[in-house]
Structure 1
Amino acid sequence: MLPVIDLAELDTAAGRDRLRDVTHEVGFFYLVGHGIEPNLIARLLQVTREFFALPDAAKDAVRMIRSPHFRGYNRLGGELTNGQTDWREQIDIGIDRDPVAGAEDYMRLQGPNQWPAELPELRSVVTEFGDAMSAVSLTLLQRWAQSLGSPADFFDAAFGHSPATLIKLIRYPARRADSPRGDQGVGAHKDSGVLTLLLVEPGSAGLQVEAADGGWIDAPPVDGAFIVNIGEMLEVATNGYLRATRHRVMTPVGAPERISIPYFFSPALDAVIPTIQLPSELQPKARGVERDPANPLYNTYGENTWKSRTRAHPDVFERWYSDEARTNGKQA
């Protein structure tokens, strides 16, 4: 089982050392004592189910293909990981902002969301949840900075304006015995941002975390806990002392329906993540940033997430940026 960390532990040096060690060795943990109200979590899960229960026409009215900012709904099979189809439906929601005039490359990700007219409460509940999660995430980031020998506010400037946080509401359908598709709910990947806090509906299963030996560790939901993992940007910031860990969701035959809601805490699109100067005793354990020609890592958040978004949604990229898609060959 993944380690469990109480947020209150991180007020102590010993607790921060444990946070550092867990995310150096495993990269994933359960977070309890986070202070997010159970009632807010219950309302979010309820409105998420109500969204997926809407008629197809209502969901299709906010399909991502309509958004040059990669916001909105994707049908089952509408996203790719490593070029393979993920079997889930979802809606991607960022922070509502006006588009950047004349934007190029990753700055085109900034813009408004698409909200279903038939479910007005979705906007208010998701916004309330996002605000609460931002405070928890910033606390975690400050405790990581302290655990690595830097001031608590080391990363704050990157998050001081226009954070590009993303929330996904996801439904993995039940897998029938006669289903011809494979087991991939979402393929093995690393998150492109700074850190992720995942809310999983109780009673579900399927999330697996890659172990050091290449095997897979099951990560079922724990009552009242978020599953937390670091993203590629913290790997860059720590020269690989903290390394983003691959994970996946499997939906084998007989798997029940699964609702999950990842909250991706992210800085401004144009923010360059600063590199921490590790204490001398930690420097020998820094493994360096993983070098994978198929997945280059960047220290500008927008560049790193643009890479991921355009690969995951080649239809949206082709729809809005067809000339660039053909020129750069960014189709998955």
Structure 2
Amino acid sequence: MSVSGAIPVSSGDAAPGIPVIDVGPFIRNEVGAAGVVKAIEAACRDTGFFLVTGHGVSPQATSRLYSLARAFFDEPQEWKKTIGRGNGVIGGVSFSPIAEEALAATLGLKTPGDYKESLNFGENLPGDIWPNKPDGLEQAFRNYFKEMEVLSKHLRRIFCQAIGLDQDYFEPSFENHLSALRVINYPEQSEAPLPGQLRAGVHTDYGFMTILRSEASPGGLQVRNRNGEWLDAPSIEGAYVINIADAFMRWTNDEWVSTPHRVANPPTDFKGTARRQSIPFFLNPSKDTVIECLKPFIKGGAKYEPITYGEYIDLKTKQAFSKG
């Protein structure tokens, strides 16, 4: 049964699908806002994934970042590898070449590096000086980052209502937040990937939540439901994919789920273009934020000891980039 404000995307009778939820009524404080909260609460418990429409994010800011990042990725690999390799600039840029990161390592799985490259930025994160081409790349990142900050605040307030907290409960945790904006390029696969190599290996995200601008392409985002089945995430023009991440799941005593997901390779017999570009915004709290069970979820006791987000993210990042 669907709830008001949600358009269910069916994945069969065995398990719930990935719902599409119009958050506009909540953002505008209109009739239907309560239905939005109920729909998102159900999604957070069932799959940890949902899509949002009615979000108010500027399509111009999205398009500009997408286009300028694509122009960067079109530059020669030898030049790109000279960009974003230092960490002496707060609010600088970082570049991760193809196969440098293996996300499955965070789940204890050893695989070849993921077949992708990425540009990364966070207002409070270390990076390097920005490249001088394409013109406007840094500003495009900063403008889109601001759009994501606005949307994420709306979503946090929805979460608070769903949990039964004051709507601004989480706001102190996001002062000087360590959020990261990434644009990922999944190139054409002119050669067969290595055994076990995916565009992005199976993983869960580390922080509070992720807001993803994705696109339809062969070899896309797949989500593993509670029955162990892989669902293809629907691609809807203008919608954003939202997923609960590990630190938030820990906050909820594992009642809201951080769901394993991956980016599959294109079919081997596919003849058209399979290049893909996505823009995830990883919403992370501040370094000193203590992640501990929220009171409404304690019930029989907290599963985890309190930990600061800084300690938690250090461990996860070392796992992802481990060469061992």
Matching residue of 1:91: 119
Higher helix share: 1
**Counterpart secondary structure, 1:117:** coil
Letter in 1 for 2:153: L
Q: CA deviation at 1:270?
A: 1.7
Matching residue of 1:214: 228
Letter in 2 for 1:271: T
Matching residue of 1:181: 194
Letter in 1 for 2:148: M
Letter in 2 for 1:29: F
Q: CA deviation at 1:300?
A: 1.8
- Which among 265, 284, 288 is matched to residue 251 of structure 1? 265
Matching residue of 1:27: 48
Letter in 1 for 2:121: I
1:262 aligns with 2:280: yes
Residues 233-252 of structure 1 mapped to structure 2, 5 A cutoff: 233-252=247-266
Matching residue of 2:132: 117
Matching residue of 1:322: none
- Which among 87, 96, 99 is matched to residue 67 of structure 1? 87
Matching residue of 1:103: none
| Cα displacement string for residues 276-329 of structure 1 (whole angstroms, at most 9, x for unaligned residues) | 22179xx58x9x75x9xxxxx974222222122222223xxxxxxxxxxxxxxx
Q: CA deviation at 1:33?
A: 0.7
Distance 1:298-1:43 versus aligned 2 partners, 3 A rule: farther
Q: CA deviation at 1:180?
A: 4.7
Letter in 1 for 2:174: F
**Counterpart secondary structure, 2:290:** coil
Q: CA deviation at 1:129?
A: 0.2
| Cα displacement string for residues 107-127 of structure 1 (whole angstroms, at most 9, x for unaligned residues) | xxx434442122241100010
Distance 1:153-1:53 versus aligned 2 partners, 3 A rule: same
1:157 aligns with 2:172: yes
Distance 1:213-1:130 versus aligned 2 partners, 3 A rule: same
**Counterpart secondary structure, 1:184:** coil
**Counterpart secondary structure, 1:86:** coil
**Counterpart secondary structure, 2:296:** coil
Q: Residue 48 of structure 2 contacts residue 244 of structure 2 at CA under 8 Å; is this kept in 1? A: yes
Q: CA deviation at 1:35?
A: 0.5
Matching residue of 1:39: 60
Q: CA deviation at 1:31?
A: 0.9
Q: CA deviation at 1:267?
A: 1.2
**Counterpart secondary structure, 2:231:** strand
- Which among 20, 25, 34 is matched to residue 13 of structure 1? 34
**Counterpart secondary structure, 1:157:** helix
CA distance in 1 between counterparts of 2:306 and 2:223 reads: 23
CA distance in 2 between counterparts of 1:298 and 1:192 reads: 16
Letter in 1 for 2:244: I
CA distance in 2 between counterparts of 1:271 and 1:204 reads: 39
1:129 aligns with 2:178: no
Q: CA deviation at 1:14?
A: 2.7
- Residue ranges of structure 1 left out of the alignment (5+ in a row): 98-109, 292-296, 315-330
Distance 1:74-1:148 versus aligned 2 partners, 3 A rule: same
- Residue ranges of structure 2 left out of the alignment (5+ in a row): 1-8, 10-17
Kindly report the root-mean-square deviation, in angstroms, between the aligned alpha carbons of the 2 structures: 2.5
Structure 1 stretch 251-260 or stretch 42-51: which is displaced more?
Answer: 251-260
Matching residue of 1:106: none
Structure 1 stretch 255-264 or stretch 121-130: which is displaced more?
Answer: 255-264
CA distance in 2 between counterparts of 1:174 and 1:118 reads: 23
Question: TM-score if structure 2 supplies the norm length?
Answer: 0.82
Structure 1 stretch 206-215 or stretch 68-77: which is displaced more?
Answer: 68-77
- Which among 316, 319, 324 is matched to residue 308 of structure 1? 316
Q: Residue 9 of structure 1 contacts residue 16 of structure 1 at CA under 8 Å; is this kept in 2? A: no
Length, aligned pairs only: 290
Distance 1:41-1:268 versus aligned 2 partners, 3 A rule: same
CA distance in 2 between counterparts of 1:7 and 1:113 reads: 36
Q: Residue 221 of structure 2 contacts residue 233 of structure 2 at CA under 8 Å; is this kept in 1? A: yes
**Counterpart secondary structure, 1:168:** strand
Q: CA deviation at 1:274?
A: 5.0
1:167 aligns with 2:181: yes
CA distance in 2 between counterparts of 1:308 and 1:257 reads: 28
**Counterpart secondary structure, 1:118:** coil
Distance 1:138-1:275 versus aligned 2 partners, 3 A rule: farther
**Counterpart secondary structure, 1:77:** coil
Letter in 2 for 1:313: F
